[in-house]
Structure 1
Amino acid sequence: MNRPLVNRARLGQSGPIMCLPALLPAVALVLAAGASLAETTLFPPPSGRTDEELLIYSSLDSDLARPLIAAFQRTHPDLAVRYEDLLTGALHDRIVAESQAASEGGGGGTADFVFSSAMDLQVKLANDGFARPVVTPDTANWPDWANWRDTVYALTFEPAVFAYHKPSFAGHPPPATRADLIRWLAEHPEEAQGRIGTYDPARSGVGYLFLARDQELYPGIWAVAEAMGRAGVRQYATTGELLERIADGRLALGYNLLGSYVTDWARRHPDIGLILPRDFTVVVSRVALVPTAARNPARGAGFLAFLMSPEGQELLSETLRLSAVSLEVAGQPTPAGGMQDLAGLRLKPVPVSPGLLAYLDQATRARLLARWNRALSGR
């Protein structure tokens, strides 16, 4: 049984949690907002013989998830999969709202399986009692940094990269370090103005995590932010929005983008290039859990076991270009999942641990976002 590491009201207990009549209107608003943000894809059962369903909430684009689901359904032909693609913050809020409604008797539960790139929010769900322990056949061999109390599992090993528009750098190489980036912004103002993009840390969970890690690892990050601000940096909530603009040249460069998405887009858009920063490379993971209030936790645990299996890890590594956590797969000749050899880089992985909760402290978050905005504005 997991014990929380911070004080809080547990589900179903008296205390700060509102009683049912007061809670339900707030829950309804959150659920309605979450539903409006979700992009739902239904994968029918291959056998066509049943209406049994696995419900997944995920921040991974449905097109990237498709081969994973197809492989899972080959061994579960009677199971439909309802896949809801959400922004990371909306995903977290929806799990909380649906779980609270279920605990008060006002709802039928939540997703069976949750997969998100916002590591901090996933650990918070577990720490706040919204994730159940699951032991899979591969748990015993899973790296310690990638497993917290058998409730939260890191399944990928993904660098933050620079993405760039190749024709925009035809006359000179793209930046390979943060110092190079500052230099390029200063020496090529006409090329750079309004053509550098990054995540909006106020709207993107992974963008905020990258900013927090940059601040911890690199004292010069605010000089980078100030240089990007002078160049009229554009901020977006999703990787797709950034890569669309890099592909057609509206943006020349994207800072700190999830490497998995960049690699996938680069395969289909030859004008997109990728750089693994040579000064240091932040590495994050997509993190999975089975909610306490899952409608069918056994199905969620089954999908988790599949993704942790050698077959699931190989699919993540090779098909989706998401580097695998599994030591068996990571030991193969292409450990970077087809991205680029990670050897020789100063890799800075983020462990799955309660230390991530520090990023979610509201006062800390407000200070970091305020400093980011001040740096961009040159104040």
Structure 2
Amino acid sequence: MRLTASRLHLPAIALALLSLVGAARAELAEFPAPSGRAEGELRIYSSLDIPLARPLIEAHQARNPDLAVRYETLLTQELHDRIVAESEAGGGTADFAFSSAMDLQVKLANDGFARPVLTPDSEDWPGWANWRDTAYALTFEPAVFAYHRPSFAGQPPPSTRADLMRWMAEHPDRARGRIGTYDVARSGVGYLFLARDQELYPGIWSVVAAMGRARVQQYPTSAEILERIAEGELVLGYNLLGSYAAEYARRHPDRVGLILPRDFTVVVSRVGLVPEAARSPGAGADFLAFLMSPEGQTLLSRTLRLSAVSLEVAGRDSPAGGMQDLAGLRLKPVPVSPGLLAYLDRATRDRLLARWNEALAGR
């Protein structure tokens, strides 16, 4: 029985996301039709690495054995620019675009480069995850605290921002130089998380100042922070992308743990759309429908360790993606809406980064 998704009426949060993770290298993969007689081709532009996308593509082809797939990984900005350029040139573009840059995907939709698509699951899709049936959030990725398990043997790690401030004050020697977070000037997701923290939590600048006193270490990617946590060089990471932290925790269960903050948990998403100038828009719409289906959401949740947006899947597999049960958490998703575009304004971004640097410096 289908669970009806509640429509979340969230305010348009003026947040921008340059990318959720470090940019992937451009790469092309061809997936021949399993039947050996291709009767159609699906062209995908995506920021998701090919090894992670492979199970999704192969499962879709199992449903459509006469379909060949051409899959290109692109930098998120390049993906946006290429769809715009190819659309304006009139020669057609990809049939489906799947990107971790929420803001750039919404910009494509807002500027008329995406077409409305209704799938069997559109009606029950959460309101925050669907903008005008043109841009759909397909994953549900919380920001988490990651920690070095041996360093917290015998005591619980911080589970709220207030806990984190208290722990830093009570253990200055253990905290000094051993807390990591994103370099928000270089990391799109780090910038998004900071902007969302500021929106939701008036005391965030006290937390940032406390991390500055503890000589917080800043890195451009999740992987660099998590590698150092696994090695014990860092004892705690603040506001890391949960999907990557969950994978490190799976690979290093005795060394890396993660906590979904109990005060509030920011949630970001990867966004899919069918370009207006798609060469085969029907093929793109079919793949979008597959990713939104229970099967596609389960694959995203289990195979890729990314939690499901679909409440039907999330209700059945609540610890999806290797993360703890989301029940009882104050989840704060970033809505897929034109509000994402406001933080592309350079002056707004510069003001937020200046305040970050001032708080870290104790000014």
Structure 2 distance, partners of 1:250, 1:343, is 32
| Structure 1 position 207 matched with structure 2 position 195 | no
| Structure 1 position 42 matched with structure 2 position 29 | yes
Would the aligned equivalents of 1:95 and 1:110 in 2 still touch at CA under 8 Å? no
Would the aligned equivalents of 1:316 and 1:322 in 2 still touch at CA under 8 Å? yes
Structure 2 distance, partners of 1:368, 1:190, is 29
Name 1:260's counterpart in structure 2: 243
Q: Report the residue type matching 1:306 in the other structure.
A: F
Larger relative contact order (Cα-Cα within 8 Å, sequence gap ≥ 6)? 2
Would the aligned equivalents of 1:92 and 1:122 in 2 still touch at CA under 8 Å? no
Q: Deviations over 1:68-94 (max 9, x none)?
A: 2221122233444444445xxx41343
After superposing the two structures, state which structure 1 stretch, 253-262 or 323-332, moved more.
323-332
Name 2:222's counterpart in structure 1: 239
Secondary structure of 2:139's aligned partner: coil
Structure 2 distance, partners of 1:74, 1:97, is 29
Question: Using a 3 Å threshold, how does the CA distance of structure 1 residues 69 and 245 change in structure 2: closer, same or farther?
Answer: farther
Question: Using a 3 Å threshold, how does the CA distance of structure 1 residues 297 and 95 change in structure 2: closer, same or farther?
Answer: farther
| Structure 1 position 129 matched with structure 2 position 103 | no
How far residue 50 of structure 1 moved from its aligned partner, in angstroms, is 4.7
Question: Using a 3 Å threshold, how does the CA distance of structure 1 residues 356 and 173 change in structure 2: closer, same or farther?
Answer: same
Question: Using a 3 Å threshold, how does the CA distance of structure 1 residues 343 and 357 change in structure 2: closer, same or farther?
Answer: same
Would the aligned equivalents of 1:329 and 1:335 in 2 still touch at CA under 8 Å? no
Q: Which of 83, 92, 96 is equivalent to 2:81?
A: 96
Question: Using a 3 Å threshold, how does the CA distance of structure 1 residues 342 and 124 change in structure 2: closer, same or farther?
Answer: same
Question: Using a 3 Å threshold, how does the CA distance of structure 1 residues 255 and 295 change in structure 2: closer, same or farther?
Answer: farther
Structure 2 distance, partners of 1:83, 1:249, is 38
Would the aligned equivalents of 2:159 and 2:259 in 1 still touch at CA under 8 Å? yes
Name 1:273's counterpart in structure 2: 257
Q: Report the residue type matching 2:349 in the other structure.
A: R
How far residue 301 of structure 1 moved from its aligned partner, in angstroms, is 1.8
How far residue 337 of structure 1 moved from its aligned partner, in angstroms, is 4.5
Q: Which of 284, 290, 293 is equivalent to 2:274?
A: 290
Would the aligned equivalents of 1:195 and 1:234 in 2 still touch at CA under 8 Å? yes
Would the aligned equivalents of 1:73 and 1:79 in 2 still touch at CA under 8 Å? yes
Name 1:31's counterpart in structure 2: none
Would the aligned equivalents of 2:129 and 2:137 in 1 still touch at CA under 8 Å? yes
Would the aligned equivalents of 1:324 and 1:335 in 2 still touch at CA under 8 Å? no
Runs of 4+, deviation exceeding 6 Å = none
Structure 1 distance, partners of 2:280, 2:218, is 38
Q: Report the residue type matching 1:283 in the other structure.
A: V
Question: Using a 3 Å threshold, how does the CA distance of structure 1 residues 335 and 227 change in structure 2: closer, same or farther?
Answer: same
Question: Using a 3 Å threshold, how does the CA distance of structure 1 residues 198 and 293 change in structure 2: closer, same or farther?
Answer: farther
Would the aligned equivalents of 1:230 and 1:376 in 2 still touch at CA under 8 Å? yes
Name 1:324's counterpart in structure 2: 308
Structure 1 distance, partners of 2:39, 2:187, is 35
Name 2:59's counterpart in structure 1: 71
Structure 2 distance, partners of 1:249, 1:59, is 30
| Structure 1 position 180 matched with structure 2 position 163 | yes
Structure 2 distance, partners of 1:104, 1:141, is 36
Instruction: Give the TM-score normalised by the residue count of structure 1.
Output: 0.81
Q: How does 1:1-379 map to 2 (within 5 A)?
A: 38-40=25-27, 42-45=29-32, 46-50=34-38, 53-86=41-74, 90-104=75-89, 108-270=91-253, 271-332=255-316, 334=318, 336-379=320-363
How far residue 287 of structure 1 moved from its aligned partner, in angstroms, is 1.4
Structure 2 distance, partners of 1:333, 1:101, is 40
After superposing the two structures, state which structure 1 stretch, 172-181 or 239-248, moved more.
239-248
Q: Deviations over 1:103-149 (max 9, x none)?
A: 146xx554332223332332122112222222222222222221111
Structure 2 distance, partners of 1:234, 1:172, is 23
Would the aligned equivalents of 2:24 and 2:47 in 1 still touch at CA under 8 Å? no
Secondary structure of 1:157's aligned partner: strand
Q: How many residues align structurally?
A: 339
Would the aligned equivalents of 1:99 and 1:293 in 2 still touch at CA under 8 Å? no
Question: Using a 3 Å threshold, how does the CA distance of structure 1 residues 355 and 48 change in structure 2: closer, same or farther?
Answer: same
Structure 2 distance, partners of 1:235, 1:57, is 31
Structure 2 residue runs without a partner (length 5+)? 1-22
Would the aligned equivalents of 1:117 and 1:206 in 2 still touch at CA under 8 Å? no
Would the aligned equivalents of 2:246 and 2:321 in 1 still touch at CA under 8 Å? no
Structure 2 distance, partners of 1:157, 1:378, is 34
